[in-house]
Amino acid sequence: MLRGLTRAGMGDIESDEQLIELAGQYGFQAVDVDVRGLVERSSAEKVKELLERNGLVIGNFGFGVEWRTSEEKFREGLSRLAQTAAAAQAVGAKNCCTYILPSTDQKAAHFMALATRRLRTCAQILDAFGLRLGLEFVGPHHLRTKWANPFIWTVDETLDWIDAIGQKNVGLLYDSFHWYTNGLTVADIEKLDVSQIVHVHINDAPDVPMEEALDNGRVYPGEGVIDLTGFLRGLQNIGYKGAISQEILAQKKPTDAPEILAQHSKACFDKVFGTVGL
Amino acid sequence: MLRGLTRAGMGDIESDEQLIELAGQYGFQAVDVDVRGLVERSSAEKVKELLERNGLVIGNFGFGVEWRTSEEKFREGLSRLAQTAAAAQAVGAKNCCTYILPSTDQKAAHFMALATRRLRTCAQILDAFGLRLGLEFVGPHHLRTKWANPFIWTVDETLDWIDAIGQKNVGLLYDSFHWYTNGLTVADIEKLDVSQIVHVHINDAPDVPMEEALDNGRVYPGEGVIDLTGFLRGLQNIGYKGAISQEILAQKKPTDAPEILAQHSKACFDKVFGTVGL
Amino acid sequence: MLRGLTRAGMGDIESDEQLIELAGQYGFQAVDVDVRGLVERSSAEKVKELLERNGLVIGNFGFGVEWRTSEEKFREGLSRLAQTAAAAQAVGAKNCCTYILPSTDQKAAHFMALATRRLRTCAQILDAFGLRLGLEFVGPHHLRTKWANPFIWTVDETLDWIDAIGQKNVGLLYDSFHWYTNGLTVADIEKLDVSQIVHVHINDAPDVPMEEALDNGRVYPGEGVIDLTGFLRGLQNIGYKGAISQEILAQKKPTDAPEILAQHSKACFDKVFGTVGL
Amino acid sequence: MLRGLTRAGMGDIESDEQLIELAGQYGFQAVDVDVRGLVERSSAEKVKELLERNGLVIGNFGFGVEWRTSEEKFREGLSRLAQTAAAAQAVGAKNCCTYILPSTDQKAAHFMALATRRLRTCAQILDAFGLRLGLEFVGPHHLRTKWANPFIWTVDETLDWIDAIGQKNVGLLYDSFHWYTNGLTVADIEKLDVSQIVHVHINDAPDVPMEEALDNGRVYPGEGVIDLTGFLRGLQNIGYKGAISQEILAQKKPTDAPEILAQHSKACFDKVFGTVGL
């Protein structure tokens, strides 16, 4: 399993290029970045060199399609997707992801029908470039009632949705925060087949009742109450070998310098990865 | 367009065989019957002879898969579907249908995901036998809140769902009662392509506010307030040539003899079909 | 049915803009042009104005994906397809097409598997923009053995392939030349459902044995031996209302001025459309 | 990886029940049997007991659909498939398989189109019951020209076909004989993801030139020239944990008693599984 960084939790990072350098410097093995932007600012060749020089692979390359609102917005995103996919393929990236809000102001059933068709089309395009799409179920309880109608938030619902989408390159983005706020156990991870997991996020929850954990109130791995040892052990047991990317969503960006935050993140990974012998 | 009968509105019909004889006797051209049952009680050859002798084709041959409840029930239905389809094909039937309840006690989005997959599998089996599946949107307002969560009930939602199912042999069952209770117009019919319509039901609504029309409070065509001339004209204008089957759902079965009811139905069809020159 | 023009048979046409002006001038109702190019050279708004001013709709908007060779070429085309589709939608175009060579130097079965997946992905993208894809079966006998392995060339094979592709927005491009060189009859057209036809080409064959008719040896409608009256009558009988675009493939471009050729084409259409009362 | 038996190579086995008893007696862990027949002759409950008492799981439960010939034959098989699947699910079986003949008397491309649609429908039905379908590529050179037109026989072609079928529950049946006759290496196995393999067959080839190895001229594992250690090592390295079923196709059934043959098979497995520490 690869130690991964995203910009969430890294403070005032100015660019994905800076994130890559920092990730390399502090021993990370994967980054979640906007690959298309990187490639457009230089070239696929140079992005590959940058990644290699820093000992990194891409965790999540940036999906970039808005499938949740109007058909017009969806089509705009779709117009760019094949080019994003071409950029991703050119630098050896494999996976992108999108999150599922657990409630919606649209009629839930109708929105599910629209979203099923839209994500199937996206998955087919990604598949043409050998890429996978991970759907992130989102657990925090406050989001389940934030919009008028409940949508879906459990692993089982998400797997059923993946079956409805019906493309083999669609799987889960499994985030420790959503595992925790769904009240799931290590056994729930272990009953999955590793091929169902496209990407993993790691972060921790503060010591508040689980039902009150806020989506943007996350803390660094090992600094909260989530059983991250169990989480990682479960993934290890089913043979997961991909990126585990830190994603610390918070109401305020941390003010420390990115170097300090990267060093801190490294220490957090050392601790929680150490508990499972990594 | 073919004059069609179902058992709904025909009182104490004892068998599909009896319905077929009556339909033939009173000049109908199509019947909606349980084709599998008919074939199992005699043979495909004899059912074809019976239909031909009575000048009838099959409108809706009886889908018979319960896709709305548990996976177990669904699988039971699926186990029989290919045989039903083989029976239908053997007698020259083309279309079957299923209705969509406008609310559900299940979580609406999750149910939509499950139902999308289930109906896709059914449609694929039907397609192997050259058959089509019509989805009936259900308009009455009281059913929209009968169960805990709203599902879908409009034509547009149903067409979006058909896109999500993604099989070309899925279309609409268009019922005049649901057209009326959805507040639709002739123009709404005319913007469809005829290939989107698998089957049609005809019946009328009593003179109560449209929002109060009850699903099982229907009256015979021409005896209520629905603009059936407009309904038929719209279908005619887009080139619909299939069955238009009477379906009089009511709280109590009519007590007249089936012969009287068939004669009455014929008179109703004479009247409303007459207004569009048929 | 709409009288349509393509550049094939129009001599030294310099641009699609010129084709549009000529088509308008000579009473045509549809043109097959590279819509994406048109939009990129001006704007969707201006292209729509240009079409309206000339009384034209788009017949075939230019698919532009090379699905017959390498995966790399396919992906290049795919990268542009959503943008082409967005341009087409913006000007109200509905249909694009691609032809199927009847033999191939690739292993036929493997190529069929690759092409099925590729065209399915394309069809899904087009469907997101409400567009259809027509597959053109190609009948001339000399092409069936031009490359090492026979592929497919009949209507029935093409319809079976469309079923394998499995997207409802895929249908036939029906060309009178391929109808003729396949030895088909009016009854073969009449057994189709109009929804299976995406686009139509019209042109004629010289008075040589049918087996010797060359793909690039076509003549103007009415100047050859094909029963174009039957062809048009068949399409009329099933309710086809779309474009019928002239496509005169020839070894040498005609040397007359485009105005002369447009006038000649008009006379040819007058003659053959006249035989079916259009 | 589980030691598995099929009836091929077991001489005059009278029934699947006998095969199960023998397999249990000689320490096998999986059997390939006609699960539907077993269940129909007793009950799912009793079949499960029989398997448990003998320490066995089902390797391949018997697909039973003829997708290679006429549409009628296909539909007949399809009519039974959901019931076969229900029986398989009831006894905890997971996988069934079908082989791909490397040549065909049908037009290869057209047959590929038909077969793609047919197997997709089958895969959808199987998926409804949580089951997988393995496609067996068939390598022997003499079969590539046995019928008029080459079809497909390589792993890569088969994987491309699986993509065309487009259902996530379709994968490979990987047979050591076809691995060998395709000239494949351990690296070819190791570049697969384990989720692509549904089932495995093991058997050996006599010491003749590889191009002359006959499909029905196989010998017991370890008694021929195939590098079965490499074959098993490759599967082990990618994490395969399913059944590896012996299948000794031969022109004449061995005449020894089934007990003798089971004992011999056990000795063969001891030898080759021993070389990889199993």
CATH label of the domain that carries residue C14: 3.20.20.150
B114 at A interface, C-beta within 8 A:
yes
CA-based nearest residue to D215, from D102, D73, D115, D80:
D102
Mutation pick from B120, B121, B168 vs chain C, by most beta carbons of C within 10 Å, is B168
Q: What is the DSSP letter of A252?
A: S
d(CA A118, nearest CA chain C) in Å:
8
Residue in chain B lying closest to C160 (CA):
B128
Residues of C in contact with D150 (CB under 8 A): 107-109
Q: Looking at chain D, which subunits does it touch, using at least 3 CB pairs closer than 8 Å as the criterion?
A: A, B, C
DSSP per-residue codes, C106-148: S-HHHHHHHHHHHHHHHHHHHHHTT-EEEEE----HHHHTTSS
Note down pLDDT in tens along chain C; length 278 residues.
999 999 999 999 999 999 999 999 999 999 999 999 999 999 999 999 999 999 999 999 999 999 999 999 999 999 999 999 999 999 999 999 999 999 999 999 999 999 999 999 999 999 999 999 999 999 999 999 999 999 999 999 999 999 999 999 999 999 999 999 999 999 999 999 999 999 999 999 999 999 999 999 999 999 999 999 999 999 999 999 999 999 999 999 899 999 999 999 999 999 999 999 98
Query: pLDDT tens-digit profile of D59-106?
Result: 999 999 999 999 999 999 999 999 999 999 999 999 999 999 999 999
Contacts of B250 (CB under 8 A, 6+ apart): B8, B9, B216, B217, B218
Are B129 and B86 in contact by the 8 Å Cβ rule? The answer is: yes
What single letter denotes the amino acid at residue C245? S
Cα B162 off chain centre by: 16
Strand C149-150 vs strand C103-104: parallel, antiparallel, or unpaired?
antiparallel
Contact call for C160 and D114, based on CB within 8 A: yes
Q: Is the minimum CB–CB distance between B160 and chain A shorter than 8 Å?
A: yes
CB pairs under 8 A between A and D: 16
Q: Which chain A residues touch C85 with a CB distance below 8 Å?
A: 79
Contacts with C117 from chain D: Cβ below 8 Å: 160, 163-164, 166
Report residue C6: phi and psi, to 5°: -120, 175
Residues for chain D: how many in total? 278
Average of per-residue pLDDT across A70-99: 97
Asked if B138 contacts B201 with a C-beta cutoff of 8 angstroms, the reply is no
pLDDT score of A209: 98
Q: For B62-95, how does the pLDDT look when each residue is reduced to its tens digit (9 = 90+)?
A: 999 999 999 999 999 999 999 999 999 999 999 9
User: What is the C-alpha separation between C178 and C137, in angstroms, rounded?
Assistant: 7
Q: Which residue of C has its CA nearest to D119?
A: C164
Cβ contact, residue pair C167, B167, below 8 Å: no
Residues of chain A positioned with their CB less than 8 A from the CB of C74 = 128
- Domain with B44 in it: 2-274
CA distance D155 to chain B (A): 27
- Give C-chain residues touching B239 at CB under 8 angstroms: 239
Based on the structure, what is the number of domains in chain A?
Answer: 1
Give the model's confidence band at D26: pLDDT under 50 very low, under 70 low, under 90 confident, else very high: very high
Residue B134 near residue B158, CB atoms below 8 Å:
no
From B104, B116, B150, residue closest to A113, measured CB to CB: B116
Q: Whole-angstrom Cα distance, residue A150 to residue C242?
A: 44
* Inter-chain touch C167–B163, beta carbons under 8 Å: no
d(CA B129, CA B85): 6
Residue A9 pLDDT: 95
| Contact across the interface for B78 and D128, Cβ inside 8 Å | yes
Residue among B147, B148, B131, B143 nearest B177 (CA): B143
**Tokens at A129, concatenated:** 């470039």
Chain A nearest CA to B157, separation (Å): 6
Closest-approach residue (CA) in chain B for C171:
B168
Say whether C75 and A81 touch across the interface (CB within 8 A): no
- The per-residue pLDDT for B173 is 98
C86 interface with A at CB cutoff 8 Å: yes
Residues of A in contact with B152 (CB under 8 A): 107, 109-110, 113
Q: Record the tokens describing residue D66, joined without a space.
A: 């003829």
CA–CA separation, C70 vs C75, rounded Å?
A: 9
**d(Cα C270, Cα C27) in Å, to the nearest integer?**
10
Looking at residue A226, its pLDDT comes to: 98
User: In this complex, do B163 and C195 lie within 8 Å of one another by their Cβ atoms?
Assistant: no
Q: Mind giving me the DSSP string for A140-177? A: -HHHHTTSSEE---SHHHHHHHHHHHT-TTEEEEEEHH
Give CA–CA dist D177/A41, Å, rounded. 51
Q: Which residue has the tokens 């299923």?
A: B98
CA distance D60 to chain A (A): 20
pLDDT value of position B33: 98
CA A152 – CA A219 distance, rounded (Å): 25
- pTM higher than 0.90 for the full model? yes
CA distance A49 to C166: 41
pLDDT at D151 (0 to 100): 98
Q: How far apart are the C-alpha atoms of B107 and B26, rounded to whole Å?
A: 46
* CB-CB contact of D81 with D47 (8 Å): no
CB C231 within 8 A of CB C186: yes
Nearest CA in chain A to B153: A110
**Residue in the structure block whose two tokens are 């993946």:** A162
Using the Cβ of C127 and the Cβ atoms of chain B, whether some distance falls under 8 Å is answered with: yes
Average pLDDT of every residue of chain D: 97
Please name which of B216, B217, B278 lies closest in space to residue B244, comparing C-alpha atoms: B278
Amino acid symbol at A43: S
Residue D182 structure tokens: 């395709």
pLDDT at D153: 98
Which residues of chain B make contact with A152, given a CB cutoff of 8 A?
107, 109-110, 113
* Identity at A254, one-letter amino acid code: P
Taking an 8 Å cut-off on Cβ atoms, the answer to whether D128 and B120 are in contact is: no
Count of positions (residues) in chain A = 278
Task: Assess contact for D138 and D179: CB atoms under 8 A.
Answer: no
CA of C270, closest CA in chain D: separation in Å?
39
The answer to whether D168 and D131 are in contact (CB under 8 A) is: no
What pLDDT score does C78 carry?
A: 95
Residue with tokens 């005609």: C254
User: Which of C109, C157, C161 shows the shortest C-beta gap to D152?
Assistant: C109
Q: Does C78 touch chain A (CB under 8 A)?
A: yes
The mean pLDDT value of chain A amounts to: 97
Q: Is D58 helix (H, G, I), strand (E, B) or coil?
A: strand
| Residue closest to C245 by CA, chosen among C229, C213, C269 | C269
Give alpha helix (H) positions in chain C. 16-25, 35-41, 44-53, 71-90, 108-128, 141-144, 155-165, 176-181, 186-190, 228-237, 258-274
Q: Which helix (H) or strand (E) holds C99?
A: strand C95-99
D124 vs C: CB within 8 A: no
For position D109, what pLDDT does the model report?
98
Q: Which two tokens stand for residue A46?
A: 């140079």
Contact with chain C for residue A15, Cβ under 8 A: no
* pLDDT at D214 (0 to 100): 97
Closest residue to B164, CB basis, from A107, A113, A152: A113
Whether residue C257 lies within 8 A of chain D, CB to CB, comes out as no
D134-180 tens-digit pLDDT: 999 999 999 999 999 999 999 999 999 999 999 999 999 999 999 99
Of B75, B124, B125, the CB nearest to D129: B75
**Residue from the list C104, C110, C152 with its beta carbon closest to the beta carbon of D110:** C152
Contacts of A229 (CB under 8 A, 6+ apart): A272, A275, A276
Residue A80's H or E segment, with its range, is: helix A71-90
Closest CA to D56 of D37, D35, D41: D35
For the beta carbon of residue C188, count every other beta carbon within 10 angstroms. 15
* D168 → closest Cβ in A168, A194, A239: A168
Residues 6+ apart with CB under 8 A from C174: C189, C197, C199, C200, C201, C235
Percent of chain D with pLDDT over 70: 100
Residue B125 to residue D78, Cβ atoms within 8 A? yes
The pair of three-digit structure tokens given for residue D83, joined into one six-digit string: 């019931």
Give bridge partners of residue A3 from the DSSP assignment.
A244
d(CA B183, CA B177): 10
Minimum CA–CA partner of A166 in chain D: D167
Q: Does B167 touch chain D (CB under 8 A)?
A: no
Contact C171, C197 (CB under 8 A): yes
Q: What is the phi/psi pair of residue C5, to 5°?
A: -120, 145
* Start-to-end CA span in chain D (Å): 8
Instruction: Tell me which chain D residues have a C-beta less than 8 angstroms from the C-beta of C120.
Output: 164, 166
Residues 6+ apart with CB under 8 A from D44: D87, D90, D91
3-state secondary structure of A89: helix
Check if the beta carbon of residue C151 is closer than 8 Å to that of residue D109: yes
Q: Which residues pair with D175 in a beta bridge?
A: D201
User: Is any Cβ of chain C less than 8 angstroms from the Cβ of B237?
Assistant: no
Q: Which of B33, B88, B28, B23 is nearest to B60 (CA)?
A: B33
Contacts of D117 in chain C (CB under 8 A): 160, 163-164, 166
Q: How confident is the model at residue D262 (pLDDT cuts 50, 70, 90)?
A: very high
Name residues of chain B where pLDDT drops below 70. Answer: none
